[in-house]
Copies of this chain bind each other. A is one copy, B any other.
């Protein structure tokens, strides 16, 4: 019998579920809203009930599964199977996750943080093409990341490996970051960071520009606006995009020189700008990467979109298949 995997991608608004083969092929997908009321006390019971309901629907039993993997916000203790500090879930205090789910379902359960799980997804079935060495960054509300090196997800001594959003790219005059430092990549390459950079640069820009007009006019501006106007050849918007891509290329240079991965995969909302972004990042990357690294490490767009989470989460459960 070919046993299956369950992947869960737990987010602040929805929890996504999938049943996959051990080859990473999705066979069933569903999602439920995340109920963050009562300090998030409903989340784990809702997950258990949803899986139970679906297994009944598909006429499947616990024995048909190798395991369940889950990606979650917050700080994960993988050995204990707990999460703390997932504020968008209202999980401020320590939450038991593994124990109640295994007790209720009788299927081995493991978890990791959401950026690591998305990195695993892209490495396994996405742009990483199953390479043993892949770095991943996601440019969304913040900038997250995950590192796979020599085939292992890298956690570091305290689980803070892959904090790519906090690579310093502006050491002397950077924007304040929520983490307490200044000049982190996240302050200039997240969706809000791109807009902050545009607002700051607009103060120095004197020429004609629709983007500058929108900013000066007090209009709501998004990172998508910045990229769309740059694509429409707005010179000021182009200079903002160039600066964002410089910062991304510099951070990719550091990742490349330290890890020499086969690919650095860029995902998240900001990466929707596509090749327009990628070509510019790659150009700066080539300036900052050691020549052998520039030749062998590719900068790539993420391929899996929203599915990276459930696929990567499911891949965690492959560890039970040994």
Chain A residues 7 to 33 lying within 8 A of chain B, measured CB to CB, are: none
- At the interface, yes or no: A59 with Cβ under 8 Å from chain B? no
- Asked whether A255 lies within 8 Å of B258 as measured between CB atoms, the reply is yes
A253 touches which one: B154, B158, B162, B168 (CB < 8 A)? B168
Q: How far is the CB of A198 from chain B (nearest CB, A)?
A: 21
- At the interface, yes or no: A164 with Cβ under 8 Å from chain B? yes
Chain A residues 123 to 144 lying within 8 A of chain B, measured CB to CB, are: 131, 133
- Asked whether B261 lies within 8 Å of A166 as measured between CB atoms, the reply is no
- Asked whether A163 lies within 8 Å of B288 as measured between CB atoms, the reply is no
- At the interface, yes or no: A42 with Cβ under 8 Å from chain B? no
Identify the stretch in A49-57, A103-111, A188-196, A291-299 within 8 Å (CB) of chain B at 4 or more residues: A291-299
A286 nearest CB neighbor, chain B only: B181
- Asked whether B295 lies within 8 Å of A158 as measured between CB atoms, the reply is yes
A149 touches which one: B149, B160, B184 (CB < 8 A)? B149
- Asked whether B161 lies within 8 Å of A287 as measured between CB atoms, the reply is no
- Asked whether B290 lies within 8 Å of A181 as measured between CB atoms, the reply is yes
Chain A residues 239 to 261 lying within 8 A of chain B, measured CB to CB, are: 246, 250, 253-255, 257-261
Copies of this chain, whole number: 2
A156 touches which one: B154, B159, B261 (CB < 8 A)? B261
Q: Which size class do A's interface residues fall under?
A: 35 or more
- At the interface, yes or no: A1 with Cβ under 8 Å from chain B? no
Known A149-B152, A152-B152, A157-B297; contact A258-B164, beta-carbon cutoff 8 A: yes
Chain B residues whose C-beta falls within 8 Å of the C-beta of A289 in the assembled complex: 166, 181
**A35 to B161 Cα, complex, angstroms:** 44
**A157 to B263 Cα, complex, angstroms:** 9
- Asked whether A163 lies within 8 Å of B290 as measured between CB atoms, the reply is yes
Chain B residues whose C-beta falls within 8 Å of the C-beta of A171 in the assembled complex: 246, 250, 288
- At the interface, yes or no: A281 with Cβ under 8 Å from chain B? no
A157 touches which one: B133, B153, B156, B288 (CB < 8 A)? B133
**A152 to B180 Cα, complex, angstroms:** 32
Q: Which of A153, A155, A163, A255 has the most CB of B within 10 A?
A: A163
Starting from the known contacts A158-B296, A166-B257, 9 additional A-B residue pairs (CB-CB under 8 Å) come to A147-B258, A152-B152, A156-B293, A157-B260, A158-B293, A160-B293, A161-B258, A161-B259, A258-B259
A interface residues with partner B (beta carbon < 8 Å): 131, 133, 147, 149-150, 152-164, 166-168, 171, 179-181, 184, 246, 250, 253-255, 257-262, 287-293, 295-297
The 7 lowest CB-CB distance pairs between A and B, nearest first, are A156-B260, A158-B296, A166-B290, A161-B260, A157-B262, A150-B152, A160-B260
